[in-house]
Amino acid sequence: MRQKKFWFTIGGVFAVLALGLMLPTGAGAASTYKTLHEFKGPDGANPYAGLVFDTGGNLYGTTQGGGVHNSGTVFKLKPNADGSWTESVLHNFCSLANCADGFDPTASLTFDAAGNLYGTAQQGGNAACAQGCGVVFKLTPNSNGSWTESVLHTFNVADGAFPTSGLIFDSAGNLYGTTFNGGTFDAGTAFKLAPNADRTWTESVLYNFCNLSTCGYNPDASLVFDGAGNLYGTTHGGGSAVCVCGTVFKLTPNSDGSWTESVLYLFNGTDGAYPAAGLIFDTEGNLYGTTSYGGISSCSSPNGLYTCGTVFELTPNSDGSWAESVIRYFSSAAFPQGSLTFDAAGNLYGTTPSGGFANNGRLFKLAPQSGGGWSYSVLRLFHGKPAADPSGSVVFDKAGNLFGMTQSCGSGYNCFGVVYEIVP
């Protein structure tokens, strides 16, 4: 099992990277920062993923820890007229015996058209694994303002184990996601959940990731559809025989209901390694993502095993192949974990849980240039007062303001992560 961890606890290998760090280009970019909520433990702790808005402007997310049972929460943040926000916990995980409702959620939530929330918890479920193989859950709003959680599927190793990614819908109302482990080769699965007339859901495995380097294994992030109904994603492992640094893959549906996997790109280390985030499309059909390691050799840990990560673009060729280009090599500690986000002008935004001032992470922007290439700037250097270690993606409101979360508050602060807003 791969469990998402808090970057500030990883110890000496990365801690030394904080020494002598230079501020990146564009660190002086103007932006306004505001903390909307500090997690104190009982209301959640250490949020890992990104946020989602409902149609009323409320924010929803998950925390990996905290809550009544210290097993994670689903929460809501409601904006008030005076500019403050009020948090409420919608569900405390491990509320059922043997944590049958799941625990340790590390992915963003997804709304359906009726206002129900869907997500995954990477452990729990009272199944074949020692602490449960994870679940897919649904939260339904009640007329009194409370929410009811129901488990749509409990993984059992054979059909997947430890879902660390979020879910996406197709136009027919089916859900799609990945598991990091489980399946035929215990290398992860891509799965589908189809709703039934009796309100149950039927799970089917679309693809069992293999344990050979070139085919990719251990998918760690959400999937994305293209306009033709094909699915795209990344694997944390697999790739070239030299590096085994991860892949970008495509799943194509067949007329008989099966799916065919094809590997679009194998990372080799110098162009990135170990992608932990999902992909996004631009309007031209190009794919964008991040790798948590890899890149330039001058940015490495003392033992030389890790470099600082990249932002990459994949462009489709006329023969069906894809060409990769790195649009940002991080030159100081970064290790990006979250998916990228586009604004209406075509600029990219992302976070890194490390690097920057006091090694507490940054929010960055990549702007395409008319002559080619991308201009890099930093909108926020987190410094632990009281926010540190942003790892998930950011989301825009209708006014163009950015919202995200950090996993911690930095040393010496009595809180366990924050929700923040940044006006670019």
DSSP string, 46-74: ---S--EE-TTS-EEEEESB-TTTTS-EE
Segments making up each domain of the chain, as ranges: 24-423
In the block, residue with structure tokens 């809180």:
415
Per-residue pLDDT at 28: 45
Q: Tell me which of 3.90.1150.10, 3.40.50.300, 3.40.50.2300, 2.130.10.80 is the CATH number of domain 24-423.
A: 2.130.10.80
Query: Is there a contact between 163 and 107 (Cβ–Cβ < 8 Å)?
Result: yes
Q: What are phi and psi of 65, to 5 degrees?
A: -130, -170
Per-residue pLDDT at 34: 95
Q: Write the pLDDT tens digit of every residue in 339-376.
A: 999 999 999 999 999 887 778 999 999 999 999 999 99
Q: Is 343 exposed, middle or buried (0-12, 13-18, 19+ CB in 10 A)?
A: middle
**363 contacts: CB under 8 Å, gap ≥ 6:** 349, 350, 351, 378, 379, 380, 382, 390, 394, 402, 404, 422
For residue 379, the surrounding DSSP H or E stretch is: strand 374-381
Per-residue pLDDT at 159: 97
Maximum distance among all alpha carbons in the chain?
Answer: 60
Q: Write the pLDDT tens digit of every residue in 230-270.
A: 999 999 998 777 788 999 999 999 999 999 999 999 999 99
Per-residue pLDDT at 305: 53
pTM (global) more than 0.85: yes
Per-residue pLDDT at 27: 45
Per-residue pLDDT at 4: 57
Residues of the chain with pLDDT under 50: 5-28, 302-303
